[in-house]
């Protein structure tokens, strides 16, 4: 099989470590000691603790690019230190957006010299924290940003895999339902129901092929971020993101990640803890986002997605 330029780059950069980089419906696999890459469209179950490339290998793969790892944080005093220690092993530039924490998280962050912290004086919402991360990514001249949560759901050692996959996409979106990992946790039933329902609606209305609409573990190229104008400051921000990404014809791929739930009691805030209220809120944001792109010069997502509703 003739080697593409991308394949040659991966072969030269990664050396002879055994690695995985999922691209759309398959992966390249490098057999240790052979220097030979093979494309596998169907593959065995990934292992939850499978080794990933070192920081040296990551830097080799992206030697001409500068990537940021960004974590939105709100009252994560139990996790923040350990998570940031782990993130620092895989990212040389780390940004924490402290969204008005009141539990001592801010004191822990102030004691660290290895991360940049942007603080919101009050709790503005998950979407607001990500908007701040996106703005910093573009303004500081990064080529892209990997976003991950600070509650232990996302494994920092997978950061290099997201960056590698972004070589062929504007957005690499983590999916907890694309593949099964040994040791996956069972998701709370109402969260799984809402995720499946909203994901199916996004696919139907936007012509996407997502399996997980809400996973916060993502890689965004700065060139794609410049085409977005995200305004939703809450947990429904991903819905506005998907509508605008479809309207801008951004290239999106998913990357399988383990399903990890360490805090089943985590609150969405007030009335949003009630499933039906949260579902109505998501539908309203989705409808508003569709109307917004229909009314401006970007046109509707349906212009580029034949599976959308007329």
Tell me how long the chain is: 310
Closest alpha carbon to 169 in 226, 251, 245: 251
Give me the pLDDT at residue 164, please.
96
Note down pLDDT in tens along the chain; length 310 residues: 444 444 333 333 333 223 333 333 444 444 444 444 443 333 333 344 444 444 444 444 456 899 999 999 999 999 999 999 999 999 999 999 999 999 999 999 999 999 999 999 999 999 999 999 999 999 999 999 999 999 888 999 999 999 999 999 999 999 999 988 888 777 778 888 899 999 999 999 999 999 999 999 999 999 999 999 999 999 899 999 999 999 999 999 999 999 887 765 555 455 556 778 888 989 999 999 999 998 875 555 554 443 333 3
Instruction: Give buried/exposed letters for 4-17 (b at 16+ CB in 10 A, else e).
Output: eeeeeebbebbeee
Distance of CA 256 to the CA centre of its chain: 11
Give me the pLDDT at residue 271, please.
53
Give me the pLDDT at residue 16, please.
28
- Where are the domains positioned within the chain? 55-303
Instruction: Calculate the alpha carbon distances from 267 to 85, 259, 274 in Å.
Output: 25, 18, 10
Helix (H, G, I), strand (E, B) or coil at 205: helix
Give me the pLDDT at residue 18, please.
30
Q: Are 48 and 258 in contact (CB under 8 A)?
A: yes
Give me the pLDDT at residue 48, please.
43
Domain 55-303 has CATH 3.90.550.10: yes
Instruction: Kindly give the pairing relationship between strand 144-147 and strand 116-120.
Output: unpaired
Based on DSSP, count helices (H) and strands (E) in the chain, helices before strands. Answer: 10, 10
Distance of CA 216 to the CA centre of its chain: 5
Give me the pLDDT at residue 60, please.
45
Residue 84 CB burial class (10 angstroms; 0-12, 13-18, ≥19): buried
């Amino acid at each position: 099989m003739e080697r593409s330029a991308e394949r040659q780059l991966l072969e030269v950069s990664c050396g002879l470590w055994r690695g995985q980089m999922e691209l759309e419906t398959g992966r390249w696999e490098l057999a240790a000691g052979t220097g030979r890459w093979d494309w596998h469209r169907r593959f065995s179950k990934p292992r939850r603790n499978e080794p990933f490339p070192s920081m040296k290998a990551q830097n080799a793969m992206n030697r001409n690019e500068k990537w940021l790892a960004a974590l939105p944080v709100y009252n994560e005093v139990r996790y923040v230190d350990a998570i940031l220690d782990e993130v620092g092993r895989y990212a040389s530039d780390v940004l924490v957006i402290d969204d008005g924490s009141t539990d001592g998280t801010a004191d822990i962050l102030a004691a660290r010299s290895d991360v940049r912290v942007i603080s919101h004086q009050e709790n503005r919402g998950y979407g607001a924290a990500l908007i701040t991360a996106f703005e910093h990514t573009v303004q500081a001249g990064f080529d892209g940003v990997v976003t991950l949560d600070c509650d232990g759901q996302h494994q920092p050692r997978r950061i290099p895999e997201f960056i590698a996959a972004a070589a062929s996409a504007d957005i690499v979106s983590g999916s907890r339902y694309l593949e099964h990992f040994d040791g996956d946790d069972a998701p709370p039933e109402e969260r799984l129901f809402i995720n499946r329902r909203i994901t199916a609606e996004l696919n139907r209305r936007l012509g996407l092929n997502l399996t997980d609409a809400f996973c916060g573990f993502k890689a965004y190229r700065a060139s794609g971020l410049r085409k977005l104008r995200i305004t939703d400051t809450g947990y429904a921000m991903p819905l506005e993101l998907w509508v605008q990404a479809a309207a801008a014809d951004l290239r999106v791929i998913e990357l399988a990640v383990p399903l990890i739930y360490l805090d089943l009691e985590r609150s969405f805030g007030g009335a949003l803890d009630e499933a039906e209220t949260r579902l109505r809120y998501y539908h309203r944001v989705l409808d508003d986002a569709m109307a917004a792109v229909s009314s401006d010069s970007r046109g509707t997502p349906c212009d580029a997605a034949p599976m959308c509703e007329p």
